[in-house]
Structure formats: C-alpha cells, structure tokens
C-alpha cells in the first residue's frame, strides 16, 4: 500500500493527488520528451472513438477499452 506524504514547504498539507488541467485543447493528451522531442499520447474512450468522423489510422486499441495514438513533434 502507498501512503501519501504531506507537503511541508510552507504549503498547506495535501491529503491526496491533485488534478491540473492546462487548457481544453491539450486535455486529451499526456506530454513528455523522447530523445529531446516532445511526445504526446492521445487517448479516446470507445464511445468517443465511435463518434469520430475521421479516426487516426495509427491508433491502437488497448484492452482496457481505450484507443491511443502516440505523436512525436
């Protein structure tokens, strides 16, 4: 079991993780760097996938029920 430790740098103690949403355009992607290039992982639910007019041809289905596509900028 993992315990959440409080933050003690003058901030109020946190009891759990917090969600940060930068802006609506980028909320469908997780970002990180691969060999110095920005990479994005786009994720869609099955319902969102079925509702899309144009689907990315390189997207892959994950057994958890999500569609994912990796982009390197």
Give one DSSP letter per residue of the chain, joined into a string. Answer: -PPPPPP-SSSPPPSS-------GGGTTEEEEEETTEEEEEEEEEHHHHHH-SS--TT-EEETTTEEEEEEE-
Tens of each residue's pLDDT in the chain, 73 residues:
344 445 555 555 555 555 555 555 455 667 788 888 888 888 899 999 999 999 999 999 999 899 999 888 7
pTM over 0.75: no
The pLDDT, as a whole number, for residue 49 is 93
The pLDDT, as a whole number, for residue 32 is 83
């Amino acid at each position: 079991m993992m315990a959440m430790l409080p933050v003690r740098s003058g901030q109020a103690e946190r009891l759990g993780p917090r969600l940060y949403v930068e802006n609506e355009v980028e909320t469908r992607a997780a970002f990180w760097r691969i060999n110095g290039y920005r990479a994005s992982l786009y994720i869609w639910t099955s319902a969102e996938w079925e509702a899309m007019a144009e689907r990315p041809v390189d997207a892959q289905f994950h057994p958890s029920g999500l569609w994912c596509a990796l982009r390197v900028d």
